[in-house]
Structure 1
């Protein structure tokens, strides 16, 4: 497999981005839920430009602070946080530290560009959205801390989890009353899967090409097996490449796809 995967802006990502924009506009808490592997985390990181931001705020010394930042950092306004199984107090502290580092990098860039007056005064000032992933891990105390962060700052918050999380949160009326939007992250449609698998090989980070298939039925089999699940696409192609290599084959047939499928543990998709 080619690890240089490029993010593909699917219709579902565009719907998710509109959902994020709406939460920011109205400063609401939003809930996003969907099955594993459909692209929730990738979409959230893309919206937050987190692959870029995370590298900027992960500096080790003051000398490295903002050293690689460019003008793009000034347009970033979202924190992405994967909820770990830690104490509620540490959760709040970690989010605030991320906010401080975010602003510190921005200020370091402004100084490097010749600006003398800095624009930050608190950890989360200027942060418009906090996205918290994997909230299924969190207990009531954690959720209360997130509610407190939301109440104390002029920002929006999006909580991402598995299907059913919206029902669980309904049991916490103080938090639930602040939720303005809910978004179910859908899997890819068959038409979009066809388009991506035929024309977006490079973006998916897959080295196999359309001409490597023996016929259209083999490609259709992959669409049927993966059922619109991005994560499963990569797992299946890893097995397909392994089977081709072991058996010294050059073409992907329906038999190869079925053998690859039988090598996987496929849960609910």
Structure 2
């Protein structure tokens, strides 16, 4: 994901970014928790610019290291890592590999750009300020200990992303919990911000619907009421609305269309 497109910097994202900045400033471990679909993962990947950086350090997508690199990789200071659902015993080596790949890609890109030999970093986390670990709920104590070991041995910050209640669960592990400095609840969109996004920002996410496509504000109000500020549900509902409009060859989003779209969703509403 490019930082300039296909992402809406909501108030909640800005609060999340400030939370990450604070963790970096004080070199703390932070916990971010929130309900499914509110935007935790999207915001984390956007903060780390991971759709761009992750692609550039993925050696399987290039013939040589650094082939896909741009100046973006030179500014990479954050690692984004999704905890695996299984085989989590190699968490430390997996995260270490991501850090090493960033350093190697940076060195190779600089070498080609300036036509001079660049020294590779021996420390995988040199230049890394923050490691974001998503789906922290999947991990057991032995896996969390690997993360604590990375934190203890390197001058950096960490942010754990999980579901509500994860902060209470982590409190059962005093050695790790004593290192946690901040907690942040990632909340759903407010009614006013949801309304603002539906009016002015939704095209930023690549949806063709425009404000003039709605029959009246009642249709917009209906969407706000159905989705209750859940970003993922808003996106899914709009996809269904777009589908229903095309199937029925309609040009206007009415309350009836919105309700039909809601009924088409299998779960979540």
TM-score scaled by structure 2? 0.93
Q: CA deviation at 1:62?
A: 8.1
Spell out, residue by residue over 1:93-115, the C-alpha distance to the aligned partner (whole angstroms, 9 max, x if none).
11111111111001101211234
Match of 1:260 in 2: 261
Distance in 1 between residues matched to 2:40 and 2:108, nearest whole Å: 32
> 5 Å matches for 1:119-138?
120-138=121-139
Q: CA deviation at 1:239?
A: 1.5
Q: CA deviation at 1:87?
A: 3.6
Match of 2:140 in 1: 139
- Structure 1 runs (4+) greater than 4 angstroms displaced: none
Q: CA deviation at 1:88?
A: 4.2
Spell out, residue by residue over 1:191-221, the C-alpha distance to the aligned partner (whole angstroms, 9 max, x if none).
1111111111321221111111111100111
Structure 2 segments unaligned to the other structure (5+ residues): none
Q: Is the 8 A contact 1:87 1:142 kept in 2?
A: no
- Higher RCO structure (Cα 8 Å, ≥6 apart): 1
Cα distance change, pair 123–240 in 1 and its aligned pair in 2 (3 A): same
Q: Is the 8 A contact 1:23 1:180 kept in 2?
A: yes
Structure 1 segments unaligned to the other structure (5+ residues): none
Cα distance change, pair 230–7 in 1 and its aligned pair in 2 (3 A): same
Distance in 2 between residues matched to 1:62 and 1:191, nearest whole Å: 44
Tell me, yes or no, if structure 1 residue 99 matches structure 2 residue 104.
no
Q: Is the 8 A contact 2:203 2:209 kept in 1?
A: no
Match of 1:251 in 2: 252
Q: Is the 8 A contact 2:55 2:61 kept in 1?
A: no
Match of 1:23 in 2: 23
Distance in 2 between residues matched to 1:62 and 1:219, nearest whole Å: 45
Match of 2:78 in 1: 78
TM-score scaled by structure 1? 0.93
Q: How many residues align?
A: 265
Q: Is the 8 A contact 2:62 2:68 kept in 1?
A: no
Q: CA deviation at 1:68?
A: 2.5
What root-mean-square deviation, in Å, do the aligned CA atoms of Structure 1 and Structure 2 show? 1.8
> 5 Å matches for 1:1-269?
6-60=6-60, 63-112=63-112, 113-118=114-119, 120-267=121-268
Q: CA deviation at 1:74?
A: 1.5
Cα distance change, pair 38–62 in 1 and its aligned pair in 2 (3 A): closer
Secondary structure of 2:59's counterpart equals: coil
Q: CA deviation at 1:122?
A: 1.3
Q: Is the 8 A contact 2:104 2:120 kept in 1?
A: no
